[in-house]
Structure 1
Amino acid sequence: MQAIVAEKALQAQALAAPFRHVKKGSHIEIKPCEMFRNGALLTWCSGHLFEIAPPHEMNPALKKWQMDTLPMIPESFKYKIIPSKASRFKAVKDILTNPNVTEIIAAGDPAREGELIVQLVVRMSGVNKPMKRLWVSSLTPNAVEHAFSNLLDIEQTKPLYHEAMARSYADWLIGMNASRAYTLLIQSKGAGRSVFSVGRVQTPTLALVVKREREILQFVSKPFFEVIAQFNIDGSVYEGKYSMETGTRFEKKEEAEAIQKQCQGKEAIVQKVKTERKSVPPPALHSLSTLQALANKRFRFSPKKTLELTQSLYEKSFVTYPRTDSNHVTKEEAAAFPNILNKLSSLEPYKTLTANTTRNILSDKRYVNEKMVSDHYAIIPTENVPSLNSLSGDEKKIYDMIARSLIAAHYDPAVFAHSSIQTSIESHVFITNGKQLLFPGWRPVLFESEKEDVILPSVKEGQQGEAEEVKVTEGKTVPPKRYTEGELITAMKNVGQSVDDKELGQVLKSVSGLGEESTRSNIIERLKQLEYMEIEQHRLAPTQKAFILMDAVEHTLLASPELTGRWEKRLKEIGKGEAPANVFIDQSKKLAQKIVHDAINHSSSWQFESQVQKKSEEKHLGGCPKCGAAVVDKGKLYGCTMYSTTKCSFMISKKMLGKTISAANIKKLLEKGKTNLIKGFKGKSPFDAYIVWKDRNDGSVQFEFKNKK
């Protein structure tokens, strides 16, 4: 008899679905059939069941954080069961140790973490039985049966297990040592009592956010001036913008006014008319990062939420494996597209759209390219099309994006006419640009409405007229915007494009930037949980704590994408069986030593007191309702700056009923007496409300509901 070990319960149900089976408490029994002559026992892990033990559980002397115990380099790593998963491990172990089980089929997600989860559970169960590997990127019955008929030998995927183990050991070595070293050293400089968590991916990701914030803080807005002329050419009236080699903007108003005076009321001639047709092909199919970025932009879903929703759709067998960095599929998958489109046509939103598809994409390398698919292909709908009523509202939104992406790929390109008119007044040149959609192609599949065209008048080269009105307009340069969570996902993936070192840039591109498709959302969530950044008006704002850490790690490998880029490159080589894991782990031990040594050496130049004060001033949110002093962000709460001198007790907790209250809302409360509508408070049932003063004199607050009865 075979034992099948899945990663999660829903996945286990999908794996059992093609066969006659019965659920028996904590496992599923597959009845004898052609695929399983003696039947099979199917169990699941519920994600990771084990974690590497913390330092003090390996060595009690390490419980107290002290510099003289660093670096911590265990001779061997020990695993401990995650306390909340103990009963689940017992259920899995009971199946694996069953004397009737003679072979184990590892059926975790088709990736390195799925490999680690199952193989580690087998190892910790103490069994030594032959193993096979189920590798399946779609959980439809047909795909599952095909995968069970083509099981891999466990040695074929063992390198992925070694890759995942090496990554977890190395992350422990760097994270544990760097976090303790920087925490102790920063605290010794009087910069608070916070714990400063450091990691090879999370820290350079935070560096992106802090760098952007510094650009905003240092930005000095400057006025600029442009000259706009209104032309009348034989009755055709249009506007043009003065253009020169350096652009259209003047720094000095006097210079713009001089052009205005020279052109006002003067004769104008159409110097050049140009129209160009441009075809815009449908967008690529979705990888996880493009799906997360789009869902964040369209619905303000966090990347974590998008991954969870897509994972749920995958486990219900409605879409393919979500943790993919590929936008392409193989010919084998593309051959199923006509059938999938036919199935989608049974759903009302897609009936007309699928009927109007215009082409087969089997030979289009923008979508079908074996070389661009490694372990997993793009996220696409499966032939198992759901009833949309069976999906939650948010699942439906994600499924709709995935379905429309595939449908749009089967449409012709959209065609635009880009036109321009160059109008001259003596030696002065004015440019007028227009754009018109000539053929919509795929656009109606993805966009409900189109922006209005900018259609230029029909004029010909050589026609003459006059500049009826010439005006000077004033504008101001604006700072870059903070990242949204979706934009940060994209920035993490494309970080190699902004690196000056070309060789390093190529390394980062080869490993798809910072982090993996499956881990980027977790990194962002962790940075929020660690109070390094928070959401303000749907964008990511770094906290004072983030600035302190970045000041400390500046100019080190920990703040640069270089470490994680070269690290991921070597890990991928281990996963392909091209490099040994033990050498990588030994190098990580040496790196942990270097990081601690460098932190100690650099700490002599750290000066946080003035910087902490400066960051505190930047975070002043308004006047204290009790004493009038400044209210600032104090980490876990917002409070009065006069507490230490006058004992002013005004404070507001950052978390209320499971909801984080942003600095922007506290600022609005202090200024206006009422926050924006805050969604998702967790009472007996979730509710939305404003926070208002209950008594401004004593600083107490209460909820005000949107729909008062």
Structure 2
Amino acid sequence: MQAIVAEKALQAQALAAPFRHVKKRTHIEIAPCETFRNGALLTWCSGHLFEIAPPHEMNPLLKKWQLETLPMIPESFKYKVIPSKASRFKAVKEILRNPDVTEIIAAGDPAREGELIVQLVVRMSGVKKPMKRLWVSSLTPKAVEQAFSNLLDIEQTKPLYHEAMARSYADWLIGMNASRVYTLLIQSKGVERSVYSVGRVQTPTLALVVKREREILQFVSKPFYEVIARFNMDGATYEGKYTMESGTHFEKKEEAMAIQEQCLGKTAVVQKVKTENKSVPPPALHSLSTLQALANKRFKFSPKKTLELTQSLYEKSFVTYPRTDSNHVTADEAAAFPDILMKLSALAPYKTLAAQTTRNIMSDKRYVNEKLVSDHYAIIPTEKVPSLQSLSGDEQKIYDIIARSLIAAHYDPAVFAHSSIQTNIESHVFMMNGKQLLFQGWRPVLFESEKEDVLLPSVIEGQQGAAEDVKVTKGQTMPPKRYTEGELITAMKNVGQSLDDKELVQVLKSVSGLGEESTRSNIIERLKQLQYMEVEQHRVAPTQKAFILMDAVENTLLASPELTGRWEQRLKEIGKGEAPANVFIDQSKRLAEKMVQDAINHSASWQFESYAKQRTEEKSLGFCPKCGGSVVDKGTFYGCGSYMINKCSFRLSKKMLGKTISAANVKKLLEGGKTNFIKGFKGKRSFDAYIVWKEKKEGTIQFEFQNKKST
């Protein structure tokens, strides 16, 4: 009998679906069939069941954070079961140790983390039985049956296990040592007493955010001036903008006014009329990062939420594997597109669109190119089409993006007419540009409404007319904008494009920038949890804590994409069986030692006086009712200043039901357990109330009405 170990419960159900089976409490029993002659027992993990033990569990002397104990370099790494998942591990272990089980099929996600999750569980169970690997990127019954008929030998994917293990060991070495040394050294400078977590991907990602914020803070807005002329050519009127080789902006108003004076009342001549038709092909199919960026732009979904929704659709067999960095598919996948489109046409939103596609894309290398498919192909709908009513509203939105992407790829390019008119007043050049959609092609699939065309008047070269009006307009240069979370995902992926080091550019391009498709959203979430950045009006803003860390790690590998780029390059070599994992781990140990020493050496030059002064001037609003620490203004909320030390969860939003809660009211709440009477809360209807602190149930914030009990 075979034991199948899946990564998650929903995945296990999808793997059992093609076969006659019975669902038990902790596993699924598959009846004997052609695929499983003696039947099979199918169990599942719940993501990672194990984690590397913290330093003090490997060595009790490391419990206290001290520079003298750094670097921490374990002779061997120990794993511990995650406490909340102990019962799941017990259930998996019972299946693996079942004497009737003679072979194990690893059926985690088709990626290095899926390899690690299952193989580590088998190892920690103490079981040594022959193993096979199920590799499947789509969980439809047809794909699952085919994959079980073509199992891989475990040795073929074992390099991925070594890659994942090497990454986890190396991340532990760098993260644990760098976090401790920078925390201790920064705290010794008298700034905010907080834990300064450092990581090879999260820290250069934070550097992108801080760099953008510094560009905004240092930006000096300057006025500029432009000259706009209104022309009349035998009744055809239009405007043109004065254009030089350097652009259209004058820094000095006097220069613009001089052009205005030279042109007023003069004869204008149509110097050149140009029209060029340009075809725009449908957008590429989606990788995870492009899907996350679009969902963030369109629906304000965080990258984490988009991944969770897509993962849910994948586990329900409606879309293919989501953690992919590819925008292409192979010919085998493309062969199924006509069938998928036919099934999509049965759904109301796509009935007409999917049924009226205009071309076959089998030979179009923008979409079908095996050379550009890495471990996984682009995210596409499967032949298992859902009833849209069975999906949550947010799942429908993500499915709609994926479905329309595939449909649009099967339409002809859109065609635009780009036109321009160059009008001269003596030697002064004025330009007007227009754009007109001539052929919609794929655009109705992705865009509900079109922007209005910018149409130019019908004039001919050499035609003369009058400059009826010439005016000077004033504008203001604008600073760059903060990243949205979707834009940050894109910036992480494209981080190497602006570097001068050509070799490093190629390295980062080969590993797709900072992090992986599957981890970028987790990195962003972790930076928020660590209070390095906040999301304000859908854009990412770094905190003072982020500036402090960036000042400390400035000009080190930790702040640069170089470390993670070269790291990922070597990990990919390990995953392909081209490099040994043990050499990489030894190099990581030496790097951890160097980083600790470099931080100690550089700390003498750190200048944190301004941050230390801000800290001493930071006013406490009162004592935290949960832990006794100081409650301070955190920007968008009031919170316990001891959060990073003891994880105290006291938090009060500055805005509650449409009302701003003042610092004075927070002081009263902390001193006496009740604010002043506040008018104008907006619930189902407006109401007035006190905000009170209740000690019961570990402390809660509640409303209290005049002459009434609290709610």
TM-score normalised over the length of structure 2: 0.90
Counterpart check, 1:705 vs 2:673: no
1:528 matched residue in structure 2: 528
1:402 matched residue in structure 2: 402
CA distance in 2, matches of 1:137, 1:640: 45
CA distance in 2, matches of 1:237, 1:694: 56
2:578 matched residue in structure 1: 578
SS in structure 2 at match of 1:396 = helix
AA in 2 matched with 1:330: T
CA distance in 1, matches of 2:2, 2:311: 27
Contact kept in structure 2, 1:321 and 1:376, CA below 8 Å: yes
CA distance in 2, matches of 1:218, 1:267: 45
1:437 matched residue in structure 2: 437
CA distance in 2, matches of 1:635, 1:185: 26
Q: 1:368 to 1:23 in 2, by over 3 A?
A: same
Shift of 1:234: 1.0
AA in 1 matched with 2:681: E
Counterpart check, 1:324 vs 2:315: no
2:7 matched residue in structure 1: 7
CA distance in 2, matches of 1:435, 1:287: 30
SS in structure 2 at match of 1:420 = strand
Alignment of 1:533-544 (within 5 A): 533-544=533-544
SS in structure 2 at match of 1:594 = helix
AA in 2 matched with 1:426: E
AA in 1 matched with 2:82: I
Alignment of 1:676-691 (within 5 A): 689-691=657-659
CA distance in 2, matches of 1:197, 1:47: 24
AA in 2 matched with 1:475: G
Alignment of 1:293-308 (within 5 A): 293-308=293-308
Contact kept in structure 1, 2:133 and 2:151, CA below 8 Å: yes
Shift of 1:18: 0.2
1:228 matched residue in structure 2: 228
CA distance in 2, matches of 1:461, 1:477: 35
SS in structure 1 at match of 2:490 = helix
Q: 1:694 to 1:240 in 2, by over 3 A?
A: closer
SS in structure 1 at match of 2:600 = helix
* 1:184-213: CA deviation from partner (whole Å, max 9, x where unpaired): 000001112100000000000000000000
Contact kept in structure 2, 1:49 and 1:81, CA below 8 Å: yes
AA in 2 matched with 1:708: R
* 1:333-377: CA deviation from partner (whole Å, max 9, x where unpaired): 000000000000000000010122100000000000000012100
Number of equivalenced pairs = 661
Contact kept in structure 2, 1:11 and 1:315, CA below 8 Å: yes
CA distance in 1, matches of 2:412, 2:681: 52
SS in structure 2 at match of 1:488 = helix
CA distance in 2, matches of 1:615, 1:399: 48
CA distance in 1, matches of 2:635, 2:191: 13
AA in 2 matched with 1:602: H
Shift of 1:146: 0.1
Contact kept in structure 1, 2:227 and 2:472, CA below 8 Å: yes
Note the residue ranges of structure 1 that are not aligned, 5 or more in a row: 623-630, 642-651, 667-674, 679-688
Contact kept in structure 2, 1:636 and 1:654, CA below 8 Å: no
1:449 matched residue in structure 2: 449
Shift of 1:707: 3.6
Q: 1:209 to 1:271 in 2, by over 3 A?
A: same
CA distance in 2, matches of 1:236, 1:694: 60
Counterpart check, 1:156 vs 2:156: yes
AA in 1 matched with 2:143: A
2:627 matched residue in structure 1: none
* 1:84-121: CA deviation from partner (whole Å, max 9, x where unpaired): 00000000000000000000000000000000000000
Alignment of 1:485-524 (within 5 A): 485-524=485-524
- Give % identity: 83
1:211 matched residue in structure 2: 211
SS in structure 1 at match of 2:187 = helix
Alignment of 1:296-695 (within 5 A): 296-613=296-613, 633-634=633-634, 638=638, 655-656=651-652, 661=653, 666=654, 675=655, 689-693=657-661
* 1:473-530: CA deviation from partner (whole Å, max 9, x where unpaired): 0000000000000000000000010112111011000000000000000000000000
1:106 matched residue in structure 2: 106
AA in 1 matched with 2:117: I
Contact kept in structure 2, 1:637 and 1:654, CA below 8 Å: no
Counterpart check, 1:291 vs 2:291: yes
AA in 2 matched with 1:704: F
Shift of 1:44: 0.1
AA in 1 matched with 2:511: V
Q: 1:100 to 1:635 in 2, by over 3 A?
A: farther
SS in structure 1 at match of 2:420 = strand
SS in structure 1 at match of 2:658 = strand
CA distance in 1, matches of 2:468, 2:529: 60
* 1:453-480: CA deviation from partner (whole Å, max 9, x where unpaired): 0000000000000100000000000000
CA distance in 1, matches of 2:664, 2:584: 59
CA distance in 2, matches of 1:271, 1:258: 22
AA in 1 matched with 2:302: S
Q: 1:525 to 1:457 in 2, by over 3 A?
A: same
CA distance in 1, matches of 2:104, 2:611: 58
* 1:164-198: CA deviation from partner (whole Å, max 9, x where unpaired): 00000000000000000000000001112100000
Counterpart check, 1:19 vs 2:19: yes
Shift of 1:655: 3.5
AA in 2 matched with 1:223: P
* 1:53-106: CA deviation from partner (whole Å, max 9, x where unpaired): 000000000000000100000000000000000000000000000000000000
Contact kept in structure 1, 2:639 and 2:650, CA below 8 Å: no
CA distance in 1, matches of 2:494, 2:457: 41
AA in 1 matched with 2:142: N
CA distance in 2, matches of 1:522, 1:514: 12
Contact kept in structure 1, 2:191 and 2:611, CA below 8 Å: no
SS in structure 1 at match of 2:227 = strand
CA distance in 1, matches of 2:572, 2:615: 40
CA distance in 2, matches of 1:636, 1:300: 19
Contact kept in structure 1, 2:8 and 2:44, CA below 8 Å: yes
AA in 1 matched with 2:370: E
Counterpart check, 1:173 vs 2:150: no
Contact kept in structure 2, 1:507 and 1:569, CA below 8 Å: yes
AA in 2 matched with 1:461: E
Shift of 1:265: 1.3
Alignment of 1:21-170 (within 5 A): 21-170=21-170
* 1:131-180: CA deviation from partner (whole Å, max 9, x where unpaired): 00000000000000000000000000000000000000000000000000
CA distance in 1, matches of 2:616, 2:420: 51
Contact kept in structure 1, 2:515 and 2:564, CA below 8 Å: yes
Shift of 1:638: 3.8
SS in structure 2 at match of 1:277 = strand
Contact kept in structure 2, 1:544 and 1:612, CA below 8 Å: no
Q: 1:653 to 1:582 in 2, by over 3 A?
A: closer
1:279 matched residue in structure 2: 279
Q: 1:612 to 1:326 in 2, by over 3 A?
A: farther
Shift of 1:695: 10
CA distance in 2, matches of 1:476, 1:707: 43
1:648 matched residue in structure 2: none
Shift of 1:636: 10
SS in structure 2 at match of 1:170 = helix
AA in 2 matched with 1:128: K
SS in structure 2 at match of 1:374 = coil
Contact kept in structure 1, 2:416 and 2:438, CA below 8 Å: yes
Q: 1:654 to 1:562 in 2, by over 3 A?
A: farther
TM-score normalised over the length of structure 1: 0.91
Note the residue ranges of structure 2 that are not aligned, 5 or more in a row: 622-630, 642-647, 670-674, 687-711
AA in 2 matched with 1:448: E
Shift of 1:690: 2.0
Contact kept in structure 2, 1:616 and 1:632, CA below 8 Å: no
* 1:617-646: CA deviation from partner (whole Å, max 9, x where unpaired): 9x99x9xxxxxxxx97458964899xxxxx
